[in-house]
Structure 1
Amino acid sequence: MLKVKIDSDHALVILEPDGALTDNDFRLAAQLIDPVIEKNGSLKGLIIHTRSFPGWASFAALVSHLRFVREHHKSIQRIAFVTDSPVGSFAEAIGNHFINAQLRNFSFDEFSHARNWVLFGE
């Protein structure tokens, strides 16, 4: 399951995975996020907040995740990985080559710092 929190006032989205991600998680996330992008022209930022990366429930879920990234990365200014998982560092290193958004990794307990970076560049 993927919990999606929208802060419309700041054009900020917080994603909190809880368990293996499914293809439906990404479809539902897009349905919630797309109207915010349409209203604001882009997202100020996206925060992925999870202590450890739960993985995908299936290959279809992985494909949906990649499609979600492809369809949304140009509409997001900053992405913060707030996690203790090594996947956050890996995603930052690899993603910088393929994603328009600025990427940065933070430890799980640095949520406030990550939010400030996403919103204010601090």
Structure 2
Amino acid sequence: MSNLAKLEFVALDITGKNYLSWVLDAEIHLAAKGLGNTIKAGNNESDQDKAKAMIFLRHHLHEALKNEYLTVKDPEVLWSNLKERYDHQKTVILPSARYEWLNLRLQDYKSISDYNSAMFK
């Protein structure tokens, strides 16, 4: 019974701050389970596969998101709704990341490892 509550990866946060990594993890896990096509537009997957994908996706959502998308029964619809809600992060995060990258200086860090950590973040 404890395996039912086990997450394969971190659930999507309500703020969407982990959306980009969550999307990648979800796509990889769905593909590994043979359910990757259930989230693609115009798919002809069986109702059983769609149900398996929905169980998996809902299991990896924040509780508030589960409640908000309670009536959604198609994984393709859920996937597109989440994408519409959170995929704008590239336009929000990328400019600040580029600015930080351009202004990253070794002298701002106490050690080389701290600098390397910030650089690869």
Q: What TM-score do you get using the length of structure 1 for normalisation?
A: 0.29
Bigger share in strand? 1
Q: TM-score, normalised by structure 2?
A: 0.29
